[in-house]
Amino acid sequence: MSLRIEEYPSPNYDQRTRAIDLVVLHYTGMHDARTALKRLCDPAPLAGHYPGPWQNADTPADTPLGRASAHYVVDERGVIFRLVGEHLRAWHAGVSSWEGEGDVNSRSIGIEIVNGGHDFDLPEFPLAQVDAVIVLVRQILQRWELHPSRVVAHSDIAPGRKRDPGEKFPWKRLAQAGASIWPDASGIAASAEADIALLQRQLRAFGYGLDEAGAHGERTRVVLEAFQRRFRASRIDGAADAETRTLLAALTKSTR
């Protein structure tokens, strides 16, 4: 499958301070591709230009919004828009962290997948769109010599703050096509009881932002939710149940 890539330059970028070693997948979470492209190319976005469920109805129309962008936008037909060159830093990650580092934009390539997301009742991702994402991601992994484990969700790098690309996104299909990873739980037995310290070590080993200190309670639950949203979408409750523990143990084995 050859990709259809259209140049759609955004002024929202600056220089990287670090080598590329991550690919971050997002959903746009807006009404349509047009609105998302306009927002991601807007050098001075105002709240009034982007009305929608993502903002408070009584926010004044002239309220400035943060400038944002991504390297690529993939629409529902599978057409890809290139907004920012890969060698430049696009602004898609926001407040986030992975493997203990905060500036995720500097080290990542951001792909926005056109989809209304949670605010629009989680629409399905059309096949043509998923196929295009797979080919694009594989090309990026090849170009920068990255392992499929380097592909993460926005919800992975900003647990509790972001939920995209959401639990409808077909991560397993990506993994089967070599564009992500999927835990192989065969032959792995979960411990009879949840060992929270072990879980936290495994979550941290994968890359989740979970500090040693204060890692108990609410933060661990939020990070477990992010893990489930991606790898066990049938129940996202932040509980360390046996299936979650098994998948996490399997995942720890399958990275790199």
**112 annotated active-site:** yes
* 167 forms part of the interface with Zn ion (CB under 5 A): no
d(Cα 104, Cα 229) in Å, to the nearest integer?
20
Phi/psi at 153 (nearest 5 deg)?
-90, 155
Min dist. Cβ of residue 76 to Zn ion (A): 17
Establish if 26 lies at the interface with Zn ion (CB under 5 A). yes
Among 112, 124, 167, 225, the active-site one is: 112
Nearest to Zn ion of 118, 201 (CB atom): 118
Choose one: 101-109, 113-121, 122-130, 164-172; the region binding Zn ion (CB under 5 A).
164-172
Neighbours of 213 (CB within 10 A): 5
| 229 counts as binding Zn ion under rule CB under 5 A | no
DSSP state of 111: E
Number of CB atoms found within 10 A of residue 192's CB: 8
Q: Which stretch binds Zn ion (CB under 5 A): 4-12, 149-157, 185-193, 212-220?
A: 149-157
- Angle, helices 218-231 vs 196-206, to 10°: value is 60
The answer for 238, left when phi > 0, alpha when psi is -120 to 50, beta otherwise, is: left
Task: Single out the segment in contact with Zn ion by CB under 5 A; choices: 3-11, 142-150, 163-171, 242-250.
Answer: 163-171
Residue 26 Cβ, how far from Zn ion at the closest point, in Å? Answer: 3
Nearest approach in angstroms of CB 102 to Zn ion is 16
The dihedrals phi and psi of 59, each to the nearest 5 degrees, come to: -70, 125
Contact between 154 and Zn ion by CB under 5 A: the answer reads yes
State in angstroms the smallest separation of the CB of 56 from Zn ion.
19
The answer, yes or no, to whether the previous bond of 11 is cis (omega within 30 of 0) is no
From candidates 164, 223, 229, 232, binder to Zn ion by CB under 5 A: 164
Toward Zn ion, which CB reaches closer, 229 or 245?
A: 229
Coil, helix or strand at residue 230: helix
- Between the two ends of the chain, the Cα-to-Cα distance in Å is 27
Nearer to Zn ion, 40 or 250 (CB): 40
Residues with catalytic function: 112
Q: Which residues bind Zn ion (CB under 5 A)?
A: 26, 154, 164
